[in-house]
Structure 1
Amino acid sequence: MEQKNKDIMEMLLALATEEQLVVVAKNAAKGAVIGFLCAGLGMAIGGSAGCVAGAAAGTVLAVAMSNDIKSLSDVLMELAPGTKEVLCNVMKKLLKDVFWQCVDTLIERVLGDGHLKKLIVKLLESFFEETMKMKVKTAE
């Protein structure tokens, strides 16, 4: 990986940490299957009352499993090399007017510029939503 890309990835890690950004992986299909299975199992065991109890239990389980949350920093480090390359190329377009000689300068400029920071977060949100069907948000 070229040095500019390494700098950009390090800056993104610093930004993700400072802003406490997380990624929510959407697993709605898995949650729905679990909900239906629990309702069916409840119906088989306890009739209509079992179906209601199974559906309730399945719903709770489905909601708990439908959103896997990881820190954005962890996700960035785990990205495949090709995906990192695409992300860095997108970031380079945004940072085309930002000059830096070392990664510390880049991090300082990005973290010190509220407008640029917001633009980068928006770009991250868009990138992860479009390419990986993941939602980037602030940890709560």
Structure 2
Amino acid sequence: MAIPGLIRNFASTSAIAANRIVAVAPGDFMASQATGVADNALGVTEQGTDNHKRVDVVMDQIAPVELGGDFAGGEWAVSDSEGRAIPFDKALFAEDATINVVGKVLETGDAGTIVDIHVTPFIIVK
């Protein structure tokens, strides 16, 4: 469960799984499941939603996120193609012009586990 912070409700443009990174979608207060580092990171959803339904997005503070890669704890995270958190490695994303970081994973964990992330979205532009 998230520690209360900024949680905002959005309409979804597609189905969003629980504990996934969410991206800004075109339109007013629209969101979609993130599909990679180029997606404008908005936050993390705890509940998820069906297609075109409302979804609460944790936009700061601490929230649970599903891992798409292995973390040692304390690493910055970006989205994989399914909205799961993977470690940010500048060598891996050297060719990307824009990298959206969603926050810092606070725990160790393997791909597929749910861990806490400190949601602090920022962008790296080259």
TM-score range, shorter chain: under 0.3
After TM superposition, the score normalised by the length of structure 2 is 0.20
- Going by fraction, where is helix more abundant, 1 or 2? 1
After TM superposition, the score normalised by the length of structure 1 is 0.19
- Higher alpha-carbon Rg: 1
